[in-house]
Amino acid sequence: MTTLRVLVADDEEMARRRLRRLLGELPDVVVVGECSTGAAALSMLESVDVDVAVLDVQMPGLSGLEVAQASAELGVEVILATAHPEHAVAAYAHGVVDYVLKPVTAERLAVAVDRARSRVRANTPRTEPGERSGAKGAIDRLALTVDGEVRLLVPSEVAFAMLDGALVRVRTAAETLWTELSLQDLETRLAGNGFLRVHRRALLNLAHVDRLRPLPTGGYVAITRGGDEVPVSRQEARRLRQRLGL
């Protein structure tokens, strides 16, 4: 089992100490950093390799919800640990993997970490960076089961595929389709068709990109010709710049 790298952010030292202890008791989990403000959490996320961030909602400066939004751009999963249940709806709208109420128990935190691990595993590319854009294995049609029918798509017409909740949203020039296939499955099928895994949550056809909007995190928002926005993580942005000669 791959070790999960976790960041803890809470403005209360006792809360951080408790989270560190509980996380330390879980198998294959390592706390790679901790901080007391949202700004410090975001700075650490930009400089340290993190899989999951466990954040308080109410912190000085940036809130946990604001950090969660930035974390999504960086490809980091988020667990919110808070004493305030009223933020749950907004939290899930920001894509957090779980919302844990304080006082945090070992059992409840373990469930949240397992959920985060499953999402990290499901959205981690199988192929090495240098293999993702190879021409080997190109397909003529991408088969997707939609509403009980098998749809056959021309790969070059697919602009991107993005994890959206429990399903993957596949966008073509003409329509949006939803599939239960994972991004890993789609990446494998489309490996020889010029698609790039630009984010844990996104697979992108560069031929459909109109422009790239830089983010303060070092990543991008890729804007397609159809006006859709696709996140490009900081790590993948570096590879994309090399590919484009920027």
- Enter the pTM of the model: 0.60
Dmax (CA) of the chain: 57
Structural domains of the chain sorted by starting position, each given as residue range(s) with its CATH number in brackets: 4-122 (3.40.50.2300), 129-244 (2.40.50.1020)
pLDDT (tens, 9 = 90+) of the chain, 246 residues, equals 578 999 999 999 999 999 999 999 999 999 999 999 999 998 888 778 889 999 999 998 888 888 888 787 677 899 999 999 998 988 888 789 999 999 999 999 999 999 999 888 766 554 444 444 444 468 899 999 888 889 999 999 999 999 887 788 999 988 999 998 888 889 888 888 889 988 878 899 999 999 999 987 678 899 999 999 998 887 788 788 888 888
